[in-house]
Amino acid sequence: MALPSTEQVTEALTGVIDPELRRSIVELGMVRSIQISDAGRVDVTVSLTTPGCPIRSHFQNAVSQEVSRLEGVSDVGVAFDVLSDQEKGRLQEALGRPRLPQGALAQVKNVICVASGKGGVGKSTMTANLTAALAVEGNSTGALDCDVYGYSMPRMLGVNSRPEVSSERKILPLDAAGGIKVMSIGFFLEPNAAVVWRGPMLHKAIQQFLEDVDWGELDYLLLDLPPGTGDVSMTLAQLLPQAKILIVTTPQPAAQSVARRAADMAGKVDLELLGVIENMSGFTTPGGDRFTIFGEGGGQLLADELDIPLLGKVPLSQELRQQADEGVPLVLKDPDAPASQAIRDAARGLVAATPQELPVMQAAAPAAELATPISGTELPVLSQ
């Protein structure tokens, strides 16, 4: 039987995707060598960005799988080495990132940004409660506060202490009720301290949270975004081409303008829109009368305009607000409350709309489209 050529093996290796960089190992220059023996054995050496790469076995399996499909291949051997500093430098430059990820998010199956066009619509409340609802459904979950100026995860998830650093020099997230892993800038600040960083520092902080935190294996990592569609979402899009966006809105039909802004952002950063949650969707009195305090229909309008599903309508609820202030999400405290039920439904919708395995076989858009360099100085609070 004919043996495959080096070109054919290289072509097959374009199907091996780095889960963090979302590009093939061929495009990333990570294929060090290919050797084809007369007996049909193919040996591939892959150069990793970091020696202790937690996703080595992913590369091992994916290379074997892709190469063994070729006709004439009897056996596949996979070996590893590490990119030289110079090679890493070239890769960083090509990708427009000051450094390469070290595998912190490699085992996170889904990264979901909870966003809105405007402030105060309940993004943080939804992030905390959805994370809890996903955990109740049996998923391993984490919540990352990307709202550096107005962080609220410590309060809403009831954890606040200085995180420890592991022997591998990774920051360990705190554990909240329900087994949720949490990270927030608030853990590193004196109480009530204001954060006054500008662009580059913000980028740096978010990057550290994504790359220097030991997230481990997670089914879902939810990111609580700051209000609006500014800098942070651009940073996230660049660092996380695999992230998806969940939009929170209130029921005013005027949400149309928000729809446009949110869609604009998603288009600009090239992230997939997952669905809409309508929050503050009517208030029902103990007597059963329903008042549509913030109007009606905005969530559906937004979902229709964006052509994505409306995952839930969460009512105005005093308990939901109280529990957010007390640090135990209502979904955990009272899973049967109407607001909890709506959020649990939305969580099930999220699960249905997202992959349950590491989506490692999908490549991202070509590198050139994402290469807007980001810069910054070491964050003082996180650098010790």
Please give the residue ranges that form the binding site for ligand ATP (CB under 6 A). 116, 119-125, 147, 150, 152, 227, 279-280, 314, 316-317, 320-321, 324, 339
Name the binder of 340 from Mg ion, ligand ATP, none, CB < 5-8 A by kind: none
Nearer to Mg ion, 110 or 184 (CB): 184
**Residue 184 found at the interface with Mg ion (CB under 5 A):** no
Q: How far is the CB of 146 from ligand ATP (least distance, A)?
A: 10
Among ligand ATP, Mg ion, none, the one that 154 touches (CB under a kind-dependent 5 to 8 A) is none
Q: CA 123: distance to chain centroid?
A: 15
What is the rounded distance in angstroms from the CA atom of residue 288 to the CA atom of residue 275?
29
Size of residue set near Mg ion by CB under 5 A: 2
Q: Which residues partner with 313 through β-bridges?
A: 278
Burial 148-187 (b: 16+ CB within 10 A, else e): beebbbbbbbbbbeebeeeeeebbebbebebebbbbbbbb
State in angstroms the smallest separation of the CB of 120 from Mg ion: 8
Which residue type does 310 have? L
Of the two residues 127 and 354, which places its CB atom closer to Mg ion in the complex? 127
Minimum gap (Å) between residue 342 Cβ and ligand ATP: 9
- State how far the Cα of 305 lies from the Cα of 17, in Å rounded to an integer: 33
Q: How far is CA 255 from CA 88, 112, 260, 362, in A?
A: 45, 21, 9, 33
Those residues with Cβ within 8 angstroms of residue 96's Cβ, 6 or more apart along the chain or in another chain: 238, 367, 370, 371, 372, 373, 374
**Cβ(250)–Cβ(294) below 8 Å:** yes
Least distance between ligand ATP and beta carbon 118 (Å): 7
What residue 119 binds from ligand ATP, Mg ion, none (CB within 5 to 8 A, per partner kind)? ligand ATP
- From 24, 47, 116, 124, residue interacting with Mg ion (rule: CB under 5 A): 124
Residue 258 contact among ligand ATP, Mg ion, none, beta carbon within 5 to 8 Å by kind: none
In the bound complex, what is the minimum distance in angstroms from residue 320's beta carbon to ligand ATP? 5
Listed ranges 22-30, 83-91, 120-128, 236-244: which one lies at the site for Mg ion (CB under 5 A)? 120-128
Output the six-digit token pair for 312: 């839930």
SS3 349: helix
Closest approach of ligand ATP to the CB of residue 364, in Å: 28
Is residue 279 within the footprint of Mg ion (CB under 5 A)?
no
Residues in touch with Mg ion (CB under 5 A): 123-124
